[in-house]
Amino acid sequence: MTAVKGEGAPPCTTKAAEAVAAAGKRVVEACELKSDEKQDVSKILSVALGDASLVNLKAGPTASLVAACRKAVETAPPAGVERERKLDYAACEVLQALWADSEFCEAWRAAGHAEELSSRCPLSDIVGGARFALGYGDAAAQRMYFSNFSRLSTHAGMMADDTRTKAYHRAILNNRSDFEGKVVMDVGSGSGVLAFFAVQAGAAKVYCIEASPMAKVIRQLADANGWGERVVVVNKVLQEIRNEVPEKVDCIISETLGNCLFAERGIETVIVAREKFLKPDGKLFPCKATFAAAPFSDDARFKGRNSEALYFWTNTNFYGINMSTMQDAAREEVFRRPCGENFHPDQLKAQPVLQDWDLRTLRSEELANFKLEFNFQSQETCVLHGVATWFEVYFEGTDCTVMLSTSPWDTLTHWWQTRLMLLEPLAVNTGQMIAGMLDFAATEQNTYDVRLVMEANGTKLEHAGMSLLDLDINHRHVQHKQQAISSTRVLQVPDYEGTKPAPTGGKEYVADPCRQQKIDATQSEAKALNQFARKNRERPFGSQLKVNDQTYLLVDEQELCQQLVGSKGGGLSVVGHFDGTMLFAPQSNPNQFMIQYSTGKTPGMQVDLWMEKSMCTHHIQQALLQRPTPGRSQLFTPAEVGAMSFEQLWAQYEQQKGSS
């Protein structure tokens, strides 16, 4: 079962839309609204409601009026709380008159929205929806939220999540045609690493939107790497940006994803950025998300949480005081916290429900309150303890599609998975249907409160008030691995790939519902890499090839290639064919190099070199130590090279070769 959010068509300016806008402008003038010297509410509303580009004939009158009121609120000059209220009151007066206007109603009826117009004008939904998209929690919540993201250690932890960072790196670098020479915006830029990937992919300019003190870090890193003129840092909440970004952008990149996908209300910020700054044909990275939920059974975790809650509050004689009256409150407090940990798929007892979110068309007001309704069919007779959730995001570029997954079937990420638990278990039989929903409501604390409802066999259980930011992470047990940060220093870093939950011993009923999409995305990436190599024969590196369980990378080393092809190579042996070409290995180095012969459009034979990955890593390290890299006044030191990940090494090597 898959539900889709954000499928509404983009605004259009047909005759019907122009008729709606004309009615809006006329009704505003007829209302004869009172204005003052600081705020001409009549003019503000006339311009907004008279804008035909804000009329979305598919989404309907309510959605279109939200967009118009949002524009009115956004364009109104700062004039204090009292005048903000006057604007809202004036908008309500106009909306009521407009809802009763015959020409306005006729235009919407012709577009198929007669039923919506038959009820009262939803004033609170319209005005509240307009304000919702332009705010980001209260001031105290903003201070707390952005202070959490002002620490270098926080961002180091996120960047050390290789699954996350590599997915973004591949999505950007493998879709160069979406970045080369383009203007890009990085929403919630953090350390600026995504913006720097965009620069590496050839972006002409990147606006880094970062409200926390990390804005200074972005500036320092950009200057240190020689990208100063191409990186513009805007240290403001995106919803408050007015003239700091004076142009439309070709692409928006963002990593504002929270646990359970929605925890930090980051998606709404991306939507506001899209509406304000993205060109009509611009790209979003990521552009789609799939939210997944499935019922789970975990008796050990349920009993453990009970013990955590009650170990103290069952005390009937604590220095002569009976504490046991607080048992129920203690359980409620513990179970209200979502579990942020990983689990084995054998704990899932029914096929997941999927809800797709298209960020290219999603409207901000849809995020104020939404539901995921489900109707699971139990695959086992068992007791259920709640609903487990995870998400996938999609980067659909011009050249390829990349997927980032947080599912229990894939390598663990720093998001882990999120499980929402009932206060009491729900017993089900094999084949029985489990109805219910997850109800999400945005809060002023920059997060969502969630209500879980599950019903089976006449028993209905409900648990409300679970805050996605109040995550229980006490049961995370992450493995660690050693990473050299210099020739003499080694650190212990999280090993997400090695952190895998043990099976519980039960039968595994559920398979990854997005497995085929992941296969398709991987194939599209490989195709894009090979096309890039073929199109850029003067710099043909970047592709990967696996032969006999060894990974080879296509490198741009013509001098070494000629040595291996010539007499010094000691002869060549055929090892296979690839994409219509022949692959040979030098007899003197059969497991370290492969030579690819192909006939291109130009006369003669094209010869390329594939290098085994570990040897390639060593070769790149030596190249960075011996030759200058653009944007640096001096060579890298051995300590700097030793601390780089393979992706960082490759990015520097690519810059070096591209400038040679």
Quick check: 621 pLDDT over 60?
A: yes
Quick check: 243 pLDDT over 50?
A: yes
Q: Which is more confident, 249 or 240? A: 249
Quick check: 71 pLDDT over 90?
A: no
Quick check: 245 pLDDT over 80?
A: yes
Q: What is the mean pLDDT of residues 310-316?
A: 93
The pLDDT value given to residue 607:
80
Question: Sheet harboring 278-285: ordered strands across?
Answer: 231-234, 205-209, 183-187, 249-254, 278-285
The pLDDT value given to residue 9:
45
The pLDDT value given to residue 594:
85
* CATH topology for the 291-353+363-390+415-494 domain: Hnrnp arginine n-methyltransferase1 (2.70.160)
Report pLDDT digits (tens) over 375-401. 999 999 999 999 999 999 999 999 999
Phi, psi (degrees; rounded to nearest 5) at 262: -105, -5
Question: In terms of Cα–Cα distance, which of 117, 286, 91 is closest to 187?
Answer: 286
Of the candidate ranges 92-106, 178-192, 235-249, 526-540, the one whose mean pLDDT is the lowest: 526-540
How sure is the predictor about 610, in pLDDT bands with cuts at 50, 70 and 90? confident
Quick check: 573 pLDDT over 50?
A: yes
Cα–Cα distances (Å) from 569 to 558, 575, 577, 583, in that order, read 14, 15, 20, 15
Indicate the SS3 state at residue 120.
coil
3-class SS letters over 20-50: HHHHHHHHHHHHCCCCECCECHHHHHHHHHC
Distance CA 88, CA 505 (A): 59
This prediction has a pTM of 0.74
Cα–Cα distances (Å) from 496 to 11, 151, 209, 263, 380, in that order, read 43, 21, 29, 21, 30
The pLDDT value given to residue 13:
53
Handedness of CA 421, 422, 427, 428 (dihedral sign): negative
The pLDDT value given to residue 167:
94
Report pLDDT digits (tens) over 14-56. 788 888 999 999 999 899 888 776 778 888 999 999 999 889 8
Question: In terms of Cα–Cα distance, which of 216, 176, 170, 175 is closest to 192?
Answer: 216
How sure is the predictor about 111, in pLDDT bands with cuts at 50, 70 and 90? confident
Distance CA 657, CA 660 (A): 5
How sure is the predictor about 99, in pLDDT bands with cuts at 50, 70 and 90? very high
Distance CA 609, CA 594 (A): 6
Question: In terms of Cα–Cα distance, which of 496, 475, 469 is closest to 404?
Answer: 496
- Tell how many helices (H) and how many strands (E) occur in the chain: 20, 24
Q: Which residues contact 54 (CB under 8 A, 6 or more apart)?
A: 11, 21, 48, 64, 67, 68, 71
Q: What is the mean pLDDT of residues 143-164?
A: 81
Quick check: 244 pLDDT over 60?
A: yes
Write the Ramachandran bin of 419: left for phi over 0, alpha for psi from -120 to 50, otherwise beta: beta
Domain extents in the chain? 2-132, 139-289, 291-353+363-390+415-494, 536-659
Quick check: 540 pLDDT over 60?
A: no
The pLDDT value given to residue 11:
46
Assigned token pair, 539: 């710099």
Q: What is the mean pLDDT of residues 572-581?
A: 74
DSSP 644: -
Report pLDDT digits (tens) over 425-465. 999 999 999 999 999 999 888 899 999 999 999 999 999 99
Distance CA 464, CA 453 (A): 8
Distance CA 260, CA 348 (A): 17
Distance CA 396, CA 284 (A): 8
Distance CA 499, CA 502 (A): 10
The pLDDT value given to residue 565:
75
Q: What is the mean pLDDT of residues 347-375?
A: 95
Assess contact for 269 and 187: CB atoms under 8 A. Answer: yes
Q: Which is more confident, 490 or 533? A: 490
Region 139-289: CATH code: 3.40.50.150
Report pLDDT digits (tens) over 253-265. 999 999 999 998 9
Q: What is the mean pLDDT of residues 203-216?
A: 95
| Percent of the chain residues topping a pLDDT of 90 | 52
The pLDDT value given to residue 427:
97
Q: What is the mean pLDDT of residues 607-634?
A: 82
Distance CA 637, CA 641 (A): 6
Quick check: 371 pLDDT over 80?
A: yes
Quick check: 368 pLDDT over 80?
A: yes
Q: Alpha-carbon dihedral of residues 237, 238, 241, 247, nearest 10 degrees?
A: 150
The pLDDT value given to residue 569:
44
In the Cβ-directed half-sphere of 597, how many Cα atoms lie within 13 Å?
14
Quick check: 402 pLDDT over 90?
A: yes
The pLDDT value given to residue 146:
67
Longest CA–CA span in the chain (Å) reads: 96
Quick check: 7 pLDDT over 70?
A: no
Question: CATH topology of 139-289 equal to that of 291-353+363-390+415-494?
Answer: no
Question: In terms of Cα–Cα distance, which of 324, 513, 333 is closest to 405?
Answer: 513
Indicate the SS3 state at residue 621.
helix
Quick check: 10 pLDDT over 50?
A: no
How sure is the predictor about 660, in pLDDT bands with cuts at 50, 70 and 90? low
The pLDDT value given to residue 65:
92
Q: Which long-range contacts (CB under 8 A, 24 or more apart) does 181-185 make?
A: 182/249, 182/250, 182/251, 183/207, 183/247, 183/248, 183/249, 183/250, 183/251, 184/249, 184/250, 184/251, 184/252, 184/253, 185/209, 185/245, 185/249, 185/251, 185/252, 185/253, 185/273, 185/277, 185/278
Assigned token pair, 631: 């944007």
Distance CA 658, CA 629 (A): 10
Question: In terms of Cα–Cα distance, which of 624, 648, 652 is closest to 638?
Answer: 624
Question: Within a 10 A sphere around the Cβ of 290, how many other Cβ atoms?
Answer: 23
What type of residue sits at position 61?
A: P
Quick check: 143 pLDDT over 80?
A: no
The pLDDT value given to residue 80:
67
Question: Within a 10 A sphere around the Cβ of 155, how many other Cβ atoms?
Answer: 18
Distance CA 210, CA 256 (A): 11
The pLDDT value given to residue 556:
77
How sure is the predictor about 284, in pLDDT bands with cuts at 50, 70 and 90? very high
Quick check: 127 pLDDT over 90?
A: no
Assess contact for 391 and 406: CB atoms under 8 A. Answer: yes
Question: Sheet harboring 544-547: ordered strands across?
Answer: 544-547, 550-555, 605-612, 593-599, 581-586, 572-578
Quick check: 603 pLDDT over 60?
A: no
Assess contact for 270 and 252: CB atoms under 8 A. Answer: yes
Q: Which of 7-21, 360-374, 640-654 has the highest mean pLDDT?
A: 360-374
Quick check: 410 pLDDT over 60?
A: yes
Tell me the pLDDT of the chain averaged across its residues.
Answer: 87
Question: In terms of Cα–Cα distance, which of 138, 406, 220 is closest to 146?
Answer: 138
The pLDDT value given to residue 1:
47
The pLDDT value given to residue 12:
46
